[in-house]
Amino acid sequence: MARGPTFSEPISIFIQRSLDRVVVRYQLLASLVLLVQIPVIEIAGVTSERVCYYIPYGALGEDCDDARGEFLGRKWNLQDLVIASTLSSMHFHSLLAPCYFAWGAFWVAFALHMLTSLGVTLSFHRNLSHKIFRLPKWLEYLFAYVAVLSLQGSPIEWYGGVKNVQDLKRQAFYRFLHHTYVIHSVVLPGSLLYAFGGLPFLVWGLVRLLIASS
C-alpha cells in the first residue's frame, strides 16, 4: 500500500527554497539581457546560481563566471541548433497571438499552463528529483507525462546530472518517453490543439509554452 506524502524539511525551509528559485530565475534572465556575470552560491544548503550585483560590463569577481561564454563561446552541435531554432520559431509564431485571440483558446492555454506547471513542479522536481514523497506508480507516470507536455525535456534528460537518474533509466516507461519525446511534447499536443480549435488553439498553445519556460 502506497504511503502518502512524507515531507523531510520544515515548511519554512520549503517556502524559502521556493522563493529563492523564483528570484534566481529572474536574476538569470536579467543576466542574459545585461550580460552580467553569474557566480555559484549556496541557498538554504543547496548549491544554486545567482546574479552578481555590480555594474554590467564591469570587472569580473573572483568567483564569477562570464554568462556570455554560455552563448558566444560554446561549440554548437546539432542538438543546440534544433533547440535554438525551435525556441526561435515558438517566439516568432507567438507574435501572432493577438491576431488569433479567442476566449476559448485563452482558457485552454491557461488550463494547460497550470496543469503542466503542476506536473513539472510536483513530478520532475519534488517527486523524481528530491524524492520528497511517494506516489502509486500509475499516478507517478501520469504526472510525469503531464510534465512532458511543458516541453522542458524528458524526465531522463531533465535529470541527466542527478544521482537517481539511473533509477529512471531502468524503468521502461521513462525510456519510452525519452526516445519518443518529440511525439508526446510537440506532435501530439500540436495536432490535438489544431484539430479541436484550429490556429487560435495552436498559437495560444505556443504562448503557454513560453510562459511556462520563462
What is the model's pLDDT at position 3?
43
Digit-by-digit pLDDT tens for the chain (214 residues) are 444 444 454 555 555 555 555 555 555 554 444 444 444 444 444 444 444 444 444 444 444 554 555 556 667 788 778 777 877 888 888 888 899 999 999 999 999 999 998 888 888 888 887 788 888 999 999 999 999 998 888 888 877 655 667 888 889 999 999 999 989 988 999 999 999 999 999 999 888 888 776 6
pLDDT at 16: 55
d(C-alpha 78, C-alpha 208), whole Å: 26
Q: Cα separation of 127 and 144, whole Å? A: 9
Q: Which residue, 5, 213, 212, is CA-closest to 109?
A: 212
What is the model's pLDDT at position 79?
Answer: 72
pTM over 0.95: no
Query: Which helix (H) or strand (E) is 42 found in, with range?
Result: strand 38-43
Residue 147 grid cell: 510534465
